[in-house]
Amino acid sequence: LEELNNVTLPGLQEDLQELQNLTDFMDGEVPNTPTGLTLSTELLNSESVIKVSFNANTETDVIGYEIAYSTDQVKWHYVTTIDTTVYLSVIANTLYYVRIRAFDAEGYKSAWTTTASITSAKDVTAPATPTGLTAEALFQKIILRWTANTESDFEKYKVQVSLDNFSTIKETFYIASNYSVYSGDTNTTYYFRISAIDTSENESGYSTIVNATTTAIYDADLESQILDELSSSLEELNNVTLPNLQSDLQELQNLTGYLDGEPPATPTNLNLTTELINGESNIKVSYAQNAETDILGYEIAYSLDQIKWKYVTTTGVSVYIPVIANTLYYIKVRVFDAEGYKSAWTPVSSITSAKDTVPPSVPTGLTVEALFQKIVLKWNSNVENDFSRYKVQVSLDNFSTIKETFYTSSNYLVYSGTTNTTYYFRVSSIDTSGNESGYSTIVSA
């Protein structure tokens, strides 16, 4: 008793206080949606940034914020922070959409804020001057090629053409790719130069000037010479290069022709049923197949509380999900395609899973420890995923009669009785379907 009063109980109180100190800031609730979202933009070290600021949440268990930003509201980038002001490095002079949410120490996340938008600041740094420009002449055609620019804010090239080495300019056109086929007259010399332009309309200097002369109509020798440089012979061009190119183009079309460049439509006809399969409760999720040609699969989300979701990915339109029996589940579905687009979620549906008929195992390891007007009961925890609670029965005559019955979800109990009295105990376990195990061994104290 001295050890109980001076060691065991003070130690227990200290442990409980430490646990309370660690967890009493948690509120068990979803954080509020952050407020005061404000966006501004500026240049930092010549780089365009968006400044995202918002009010701090007042909940004591909030541990951070998630910022999502996008140029199309389909493909989002994410930044996690503990601060309420964040600078995002972005492409200059580009429209961005931004939203935020808070998350806490219990894993809960708030709803997203309303999406805000801003066009990022223009920068003042021009892209690099294009290099590697070459010109290759054919009959009434000149093929231009150059090395592609790599700036993140690159937008297009300006191509200029001259007949007199740029004493005057014949024409100017713009292109996003790093090659072009220019159409001209026969037996004419053309001069070319290119510059690069970014999203802020900053323009680079011009490349080195190159020139090429289109062939004459009847200059068969010169035409053959140029064709020989493109492919070792006209025969190879006709019999090897062009057929291979057609084959490659067909293969590319076969690989990409089904892509539509758009987010998929939200799946329809979501239907939920439930049944037992091999004694285990399952929910069958089915829905109509999407009609788009670039669909890769479907994502199914299911939850007990619509806060913490679990996910299943499938290519089918009918899926069985093993679940806890006799439990309410919320389910939603969306589809994703080969381009990375995802549809909106379907409206959430709900269903209570089927009851099973298999009782949990009989509790084991029941022990009792008598104190003054108290008896401490302990036993081994059940491990079934559909375990619900324990039934504890008390008797004064070894269960010829039952004094009282009560229920608990934990695997220990402190029973209050009268002094100098013998009590008998037994425990059974009950699952979510109401199935009850047999009773444990009877113990007394």
- Mind listing the pLDDT tens digit for each residue in 50-79? 999 999 999 888 888 999 999 999 888 888
- Give the 3-state DSSP-derived string for the chain, with helices as H, strands as E and coil as C: CHHHHHHHHHHHHHHHHHHHHHHCCCCCCCCCCCCCCEEEEEEECCEEEEEEECCCCCCCCEEEEEEEEECCCCCCEEEEECCCEEEEECCCCCEEEEEEEEEECCCCECCCCCCEEEECCCCCCCCCCCCCCEEEEECCEEEEECCCCCCCCEEEEEEEEECCCCCCCCEEEEECCCEEEEECCCCCEEEEEEEEEECCCCECCCCCCEEEECCCCCCHHHHHHHHHHHCCCHHHHHHHHHHHHHHHHHHHHHHHCCCCCCCCCCCCCCEEEEEEECCEEEEEEECCCCCCCCEEEEEEEEECCCCCEEEEEECCCEEEEECCCCCEEEEEEEEEECCCCECCCCCCEEEECCCCCCCCCCCCCCEEEEECCEEEEECCCCCCCCEEEEEEEEECCCCCCCCEEEEECCCEEEEECCCCCCCEEEEEEEECCCCECCCCCCEEC
What average pLDDT is seen over the chain?
Answer: 85
What is the rounded distance in angstroms from the CA atom of residue 166 to the CA atom of residue 195?
14
pLDDT at 362 over 90: yes
pLDDT at site 25: 58
- 334 CB contacts (<8 Å, ≥6 apart)? 266, 267, 298, 299, 301, 342, 343, 344, 345, 346
Distance, in Å, from the CA atom of 398 to the CA atom of 404, rounded to the nearest integer, reads: 13
Q: Is the pLDDT of residue 217 over 60?
A: no
Q: CA triplet 75, 81, 86: central angle to 5 degrees?
A: 80
Q: In which band, very low, low, confident or very high, does the pLDDT at 314 lie, cut at 50, 70 and 90?
A: confident
CB 329 within 8 A of CB 350: yes
The share of the chain scoring above pLDDT 90, in percent, equals 49
Residue 258, pLDDT score: 58
CB 283 within 8 A of CB 329: yes
Whether the pLDDT of residue 390 is over 90: the answer is yes
Task: Report whether 285 contacts 319 (CB < 8 A).
Answer: yes
- The per-residue pLDDT for 239 is 65
pLDDT at 331 over 50: yes
The whole-number pLDDT of residue 37 equals: 96
| pLDDT tens readout for residues 259-279 | 667 888 999 999 999 988 778
Mean pLDDT, range 5-18, rounded to an integer:
64
More confident site: 346 or 314:
346
How sure is the predictor about 218, in pLDDT bands with cuts at 50, 70 and 90?
very low
- Residue 9 phi/psi, 5° resolution? -65, -45
Residue 247, pLDDT above cutoff 70: no
Q: How far apart are CA 266 and CA 337, in angstroms?
A: 12
Q: What is the pLDDT of residue 4?
A: 62
pLDDT, residue 254, reads 57
Asked if pLDDT for residue 251 goes beyond 70, the answer is no
| pLDDT of residue 86 exceeding 60 | yes
The per-residue pLDDT for 304 is 92
* CA distance linking residue 418 with residue 87, whole number of Å: 67
pLDDT of residue 231: 44
- pLDDT tens digits along 112-160: 999 999 999 998 889 999 999 999 988 778 899 999 999 888 999 999 9
* 96-110, 215-229, 421-435, range with greatest mean pLDDT: 421-435
Between 107 and 136, name the one with better pLDDT: 136
pLDDT at 244 over 80: no
Full-model pTM: 0.43
What value does the mean pLDDT take over residues 194-200? 92
Q: How far apart are CA 320 and CA 106, in angstroms?
A: 29
Predicted confidence at residue 114, as pLDDT, reads 95
Taking the CB of residue 408, how many other CB atoms lie within 10 A of it?
A: 13
